């Protein structure tokens, strides 16, 4: 890769935007305003690159490679702090609870809401596919789409090997130190379970060996303070990461491909928006102001939308739930952690449902019969347990559902050209679902700090925290 004038000019403009975002931070502009500015400027710059160079273009590819340093670099920093954040936060929360029954209620409510909303999401996906008349009949496949279809067929055995019992077994951390590296696809849940076990074990010696318990509790408090400071430092980079990621997505997307499958894009985003409204109905039903809630979670959704990573959104999700929504740290941690793996409304709910309805007519099946819909929703709901924890969660969710329904999995490759565009909305909905689960659980258990929720104070990541 050689530097040339167009590339240098593109990078100079991008650095200029980053400098503007930095000056906004120095001027103490609100976090939300900075994220929104980064998002908007990323769209404009990406569109400008498309207009000037067209897609595909070597210049855009080279520019995106350099922008990847900021975008992917930011995502990797977030991934770096996910495991220690989960572990320390859960242990700290359990040490405060000292009550196994409270832990059980939190887990049951959180997971129950995630599963229930996934079931609803599947129903909405089916409805939107019907209303928009989606069908794979007659669609032609390009070379890239054929290759994607072959890839899907090649991974079918792996997807079929995923069963509910095997997935539950994979959650158990045989080697917690390995899972702390994120080596396995279900490492997040494994670390959660290990942290719960460690926290419960520690509370078990509180009465018998108070000195040892006090020393461990002090250690966890120190570790927690340091990790949360690290989270604050990384989250300050969010506007820059969002800008770089959005510029890459817009600049590298093919408008022709999007137009060809515009119906699926429109139907997908209609389903995603409708399911987001369901989340807001749950928030309203719990007695909270839905508009205030949306305003507070917007930066998290903006990051999830541009980064397309549910796991990478965990630190920001936890920070928002605790400091802006008034959710206790323990509940926020459970919701963010489990929500990144279990019952993702977009990837494991809406997407496979729409694909199944779209592909069914190609093999002469009427997807609007109860004999098709009921098994489909059941398979999606059960299959959503742990699927999103597998690399390419939406792909594996689709493979499991299509193979279980005896539908041709290769036809899913027809959507390769618009996959990134749809995945952005799916990821944002996944994160919205996990935050909704945490917020509603907190309200049901009467643990929400309403003073925090009703406060209009912005999320301040720039002020130094008080020394411990």
pLDDT of 383-427, one tens digit each? Answer: 777 554 444 567 767 777 887 787 877 666 666 556 777 888 998
CA distance 151 to 59: 29
The alpha-helical segments, DSSP class H, found in 308-449 are 314-323, 329-339, 351-359, 370-383, 393-404, 419-444
Task: Please give the residue that has the higher pLDDT: either 131 or 388.
Answer: 131
CA atoms of 296 and 300, how far apart (whole Å): 9
- Write out pLDDT tens, residues 57-67: 888 889 989 99
- Share in percent of the chain as helix, strand, coil (round to 5): 80, 0, 20
Judged against a pLDDT cut of 60, whether residue 46 lies above it is answered with yes
Per-residue pLDDT at 20: 94
The domains found in the chain, sorted by start residue, are 5-454 (1.10.3860.10)
> Does pLDDT of 117 surpass 60?
yes
- Report whether the peptide linkage leading into residue 56 is cis, meaning its omega lies within 30 degrees of zero: yes
Whether 429 and 124 have beta carbons less than 8 Å apart is answered as no
Burial (CB < 10 A; 0-12, 13-18, 19+), residue 461, is buried
Residue 447: CB atoms within 10 Å: 15
Crossing angle of the two packed helices 210-235 and 187-203, in degrees rounded to 10: 150
Rounded to 10 degrees, the C-alpha dihedral 459/461/467/468 comes to 60
C-alpha angle 237-314-14 in degrees, rounded to nearest 5:
25
Q: What is the pLDDT of residue 406?
A: 79
Lowest mean pLDDT among 120-134, 206-220, 260-274: 260-274
Tell me the pLDDT band of 465, cut-offs 50, 70 and 90. very low
Give yes or no for residue 145 having a pLDDT over 70.
Answer: no
Mean pLDDT of the chain: 82
User: pLDDT tens, 296-354?
Assistant: 999 899 888 888 878 778 888 988 999 999 999 888 888 888 887 777 898 889 988 99
**Residue-level pLDDT at 255:** 67
pLDDT for res 410: 67
**Residue 366 CB: number of other CB atoms within 10 A?**
9
Q: Which pair of tokens denotes residue 157?
A: 């055995």
- Residue 452 pLDDT more than 80? yes
- Rounded to two decimals, the pTM is 0.75
**What is the residue whose two structure tokens read 């999700």?**
317
Min mean pLDDT across 169-178, 213-222, 320-329, 345-354 is at 169-178
What pLDDT score was predicted for residue 463?
45
- Tell me what the mean pLDDT of segment 76-98 comes to: 81
| Residue position matching structure tokens 């792996």 | 158
- On the 0-12 / 13-18 / 19+ scale of CB atoms within 10 A, 99 is exposed
Top-ranked range on mean pLDDT: pick from 30-34, 154-158, 450-454? 450-454
The radius of gyration of the chain from alpha carbons, rounded to an integer in Å, stands at 23
**DSSP letters for 263-278:** HHHHHHHHHHHHHHHH
pLDDT for the residue 467:
33
Average pLDDT value for residue range 205-218: 90
- Cα–Cα distances (Å) from 302 to 100, 153, 310, 439, in that order, read 36, 33, 12, 19
Question: Hey, is 219 helix, strand or coil?
Answer: helix
Q: Which residue has the tokens 């990573």?
A: 309
Q: What is the pLDDT of residues 350-366, one digit of tens each?
A: 988 998 998 888 888 88
What confidence score (pLDDT) does residue 264 get? 82
Give the span between the Cα atoms of 145 and 362, in whole angstroms: 17
Return d(Cα 205, Cα 113) in angstroms, integer: 33
pLDDT recorded at residue 72 = 86
| Coil/strand/helix, residue 63 | helix
């Amino acid at each position: 890769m050689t530097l040339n004038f167009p590339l240098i000019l593109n990078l100079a403009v991008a650095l200029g935007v980053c400098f503007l975002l930095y000056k906004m931070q120095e001027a103490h502009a609100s976090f939300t305003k900075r994220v929104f500015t980064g998002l908007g400027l990323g769209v404009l710059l990406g569109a400008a690159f498309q207009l000037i160079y067209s897609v595909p273009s070597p210049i855009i590819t080279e520019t995106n490679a350099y922008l990847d340093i900021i975008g992917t670099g930011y995502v990797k920093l977030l991934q770096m702090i996910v495991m220690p954040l989960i572990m320390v936060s859960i242990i700290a929360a359990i040490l405060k609870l000292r009550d196994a029954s409270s832990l059980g209620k939190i887990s049951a409510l959180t997971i129950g809401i995630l599963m229930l909303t996934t079931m609803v999401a599947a129903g909405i996906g089916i409805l939107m596919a019907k209303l928009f008349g989606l069908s794979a009949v007659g669609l032609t496949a390009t070379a890239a789409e054929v290759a994607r279809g072959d890839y899907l067929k090649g991974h079918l055995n792996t997807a079929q090997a995923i069963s509910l019992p095997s997935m539950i077994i994979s959650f158990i951390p045989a080697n917690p130190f390995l899972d702390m590296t994120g080596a396995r696809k279900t490492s997040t849940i494994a670390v959660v379970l290990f942290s719960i076990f460690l926290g419960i074990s520690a509370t078990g010696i509180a009465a018998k060996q108070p000195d040892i318990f006090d020393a461990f509790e002090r250690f966890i408090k120190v570790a927690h303070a340091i990790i949360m400071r690290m989270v604050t430092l990384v989250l300050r980079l969010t506007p820059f990461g969002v800008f770089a990621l959005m510029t890459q997505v817009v600049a590298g997307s093919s408008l022709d491909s999007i137009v060809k499958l515009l119906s699926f894009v429109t139907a997908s985003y209609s389903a995603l928006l409708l399911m987001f409204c369901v989340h807001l109905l749950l928030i309203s039903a719990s007695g909270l102001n839905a508009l205030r809630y949306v305003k507070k979670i917007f930066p998290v959704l903006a990051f999830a939308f541009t980064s397309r990573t549910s796991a990478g959104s965990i630190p920001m999700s936890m920070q928002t739930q605790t400091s802006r929504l008034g959710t206790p740290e323990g509940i926020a941690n459970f919701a963010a952690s489990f929500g990144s793996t279990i019952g993702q409304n977009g990837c494991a709910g809406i997407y496979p449902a729409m694909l199944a309805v779209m592909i069914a007519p190609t093999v002469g099946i009427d997807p609007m019969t109860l004999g098709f819909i009921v098994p489909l929703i059941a398979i999606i709901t059960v299959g959503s347990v742990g699927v999103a924890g597998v690399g390419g969660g939406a792909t594996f969710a689709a493979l499991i559902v299509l193979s279980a329904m005896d539908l041709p999995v290769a036809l899913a490759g027809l959507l390769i050209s618009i996959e990134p565009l749809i995945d952005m909305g799916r990821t944002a909905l996944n994160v919205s679902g996990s935050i909704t689960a945490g917020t509603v659980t907190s309200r049901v258990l009467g643990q929400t700090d309403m003073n925090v929720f009703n406060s209009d104070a912005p999320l301040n990541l720039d002020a130094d925290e008080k020394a411990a």
